[in-house]
Structure 1
Amino acid sequence: MAGASLLTLLDDIATILDDVAVMTKVAAKKSAAVADDVAAMTKVATQKTAGVLGDDLALNAQQVTGVRAEREIPVVWAVAKGSLVNKAILVPAALAISALLPVLITPLLMLGGAFLCFEGVEKLAHKFLHSAAEDEAAHASHAQANANAAVNLVDFEKDKIKGAVRTDFILSAEIIVIALGTVAAAPFAQQVAVLVSIALLMTVGVYGLVAGIVKLDDLGLWLSGKASAVAQAVGRGLLAAAPRLMKFLSVAGMAAMFLVGGGILVHGIPALHHGIEAMGAAAGAWPLGGVWSALTTNLLNAVVGLMAGALVLGAWLLVQRLRGPAAARG
């Protein structure tokens, strides 16, 4: 009997171990599935927020220009740290909204889209709203700060960093809200994983590229001074490409404002969304239908963004004009 009891006990232990192995395997599969889901959602969220990155990249690269060459990387690093602080504030706030007031996600997306469109139109109208003398004065101020040893460059850099961090806060908020809209239906833990991943990826990606862009001309200058003819040719090419790259990023960023902002606004208005989808589907019947469908949809989204931005800018200018006389009387 004792032997039989021992065999029974061993059999029970073996059964329990089999069950544990099966449950471990199932748990591993579920963990892998969750990891795959997080990776997939992070990829989708990254694609949806990528349109904002052209603007983010161009604006931040422009913000840190105007400082001395040896101080460019420290300034970029300071702005990157400020960006991480911004996201440390924005991610918990976005998660709290998703958990407590999910109904606010769409209105916040619409506000972010409207702001993007407003920024785009304001840039287009810049030459009408700001005189060439103002732009020239700002450029001269930057040049003077670098050339004059009496100027307090620490304060000058602090102003540049503060301006760049403020810009980053607005753009980071748009990125986080767009990403949140992508994963709003997912479990809370997956929302946390996706938003944290997006925040880190965007910060590292944007400011890594900004650091590379602002030092591109220095790299070109260093290569052009080398003895090798190939290195000199590459250096001259980089020196020629650097200003063109900045200009391209500025144009691409402006286009992204209308495409992304307009797309957000369109998705928030069901009738408009279905109408544009129908037009895109109709264009899909043409040769190379997929290309024409995508072009039609994006073009219409951009037109909506342009119109919305013009309306917001007009309202803002009206408020400024109405406040002007009152401010003068006060």
Structure 2
Amino acid sequence: MPSGLVALFDDVAVIARAASASVDDIAVAAGKAGSKTAGVVIDDAAVTPSYVTGLSPSRELPIIWAITKGSLFNKLIILLPGAILLSEFLPQAIIWILMLGGAFLCYEGAEKVMEKLGGAKHGKTVEDEIADPQAFETQRIAGAIRTDLILSAEIMAITLNELDLPTWWERGLGLALVAFVVTVAVYGSVALIVKMDDVGLRLLRESEVTNVRRFGVFLLRAMPKLLIALSFIGTIAMLWVGGGIIVHGTHEVGIHLLYDIAHGAEYAVAGATGALSGVVGWVTYAAISGVIGLALGAVIAFVLHKVIGYEGAH
């Protein structure tokens, strides 16, 4: 075989190995970066079931599918190109976008806390009378996709900030991988959650096996409690993640007070708790981040609703 052809095959093998290594690097980086978005993902999964509340059970899965497609469009068509351009030409803007998203999460979390404590509700609620189901469904889907755009922007910004990949196409693949996995995980979980009561009812009605019927009853009773738990977890996640982004972001731009308070408390508690230092230290940091998020969100909510007079989307 001619030596030139052998050399060419060697070059191709080297390129293939390099490409394979790049794919592995992208997958690892995407996995690490995706884990940082956990709080936003929990919030997304907690918020979405509310968009099918009050509608016909036969429309639940079609609505979730429509929202899923809108979410993928948000991430892959709208946000991904912008994220790549930012990472190439204006990377210093990423931290400010992160902090804007963090402030939004703080506001959303604080508003939910204030509503639970008896504050006024803003925007439409699921208790409103549905005069035109088709128009209401269209409005729900549009509202869910708008909310998803904000949460998706935060997911993409967090992911981009965490991706340590050298080229724009590797970052693009990493972002696309996280976007796809997160979307499937969130809306797949939501589909399972909203159909849980239907499955339980079917098992109860159609099965003659006692244990199967009991499991059906369990699903029926668990559904409302699960939604309440998801709402609570989502609120905590918003405040913790939003506050943590603000703590980290202000430190990155040269304002160190919040960072020093949060990490100082984390290290002090960790140093005093022995074997549990890692877990307890992290919980301390997360709790302080959540308190900071709640305080910032309450200020934003006050300014929006009491000073500006914003009453939420209708």
Answer yes or no: same fold by TM over 0.5: yes
Q: 2:84 aligns with which of 89, 95, 105?
A: 95
Task: Give the alignment of 1:248-259 within 5 angstroms.
Answer: 248-259=229-240
Residue 123 of structure 2 corresponds to residue 162 of structure 1: no
Q: 1:208 aligns with which of 182, 185, 188?
A: 188
Distance 2:165 2:269 in 1: 32
Residue 94 of structure 2 corresponds to residue 108 of structure 1: no
4+ aligned runs moved over 6 Å, structure 1: none
How far residue 26 of structure 1 moved from its aligned partner, in angstroms, is 2.5
Distance 1:319 1:179 in 2: 34
Query: 1:211 is aligned with what amino acid?
Result: A
How far residue 284 of structure 1 moved from its aligned partner, in angstroms, is 2.1
User: Over aligned residues, Cα RMSD in angstroms?
Assistant: 2.2
Which is higher, the Rg of structure 1 or of structure 2? 1
* Partner residue in 2 for 1:117: 106
TM-score, normalised relative to structure 1: 0.85
Distance 1:264 1:221 in 2: 42
TM-score, normalised relative to structure 2: 0.89
* Partner residue in 2 for 1:57: 45
Distance 1:30 1:131 in 2: 55
More helix by share: 1
2:26–2:174: 8 Å Cα contact kept in structure 1? yes
Residue 244 of structure 2 corresponds to residue 263 of structure 1: yes
Query: 2:55 is aligned with what amino acid?
Result: V
Residue 228 of structure 2 corresponds to residue 247 of structure 1: yes
Query: 1:215 is aligned with what amino acid?
Result: K
Q: Deviation per CA, 1:172-210, whole angstroms, max 9, x where unpaired?
A: 111111111112663201110011111111221111111
Distance 2:134 2:287 in 1: 45
Q: Name the CA shift for 1:299/1:100 in 2 (closer, same or farther; >3 Å).
A: same
Query: 1:120 is aligned with what amino acid?
Result: G
How far residue 282 of structure 1 moved from its aligned partner, in angstroms, is 2.6
* Partner residue in 2 for 1:276: 262
Q: Deviation per CA, 1:151-176, whole angstroms, max 9, x where unpaired?
A: 53221211111111111111111111
Residue 213 of structure 2 corresponds to residue 227 of structure 1: no
Distance 1:278 1:31 in 2: 43
2:26–2:165: 8 Å Cα contact kept in structure 1? no
What percent of counterpart residues are identical? 39
Q: Which ranges in structure 2 are unaligned for 5 or more consecutive residues?
A: none
Distance 1:129 1:258 in 2: 18
Query: 1:254 is aligned with what amino acid?
Result: T
Distance 2:166 2:101 in 1: 22
2:29–2:164: 8 Å Cα contact kept in structure 1? no
Q: Name the SS for the 2:215 alignment partner.
A: helix
1:105–1:181: 8 Å Cα contact kept in structure 2? yes
Q: Which ranges in structure 1 are unaligned for 5 or more consecutive residues?
A: 1-9, 146-150, 325-330
How far residue 275 of structure 1 moved from its aligned partner, in angstroms, is 4.3
Q: 1:152 aligns with which of 117, 126, 132?
A: 132
How far residue 239 of structure 1 moved from its aligned partner, in angstroms, is 0.4
1:64–1:72: 8 Å Cα contact kept in structure 2? yes
* Partner residue in 2 for 1:80: 68
2:29–2:165: 8 Å Cα contact kept in structure 1? no
Equivalent pairs counted in the alignment come to: 300
1:98–1:184: 8 Å Cα contact kept in structure 2? no
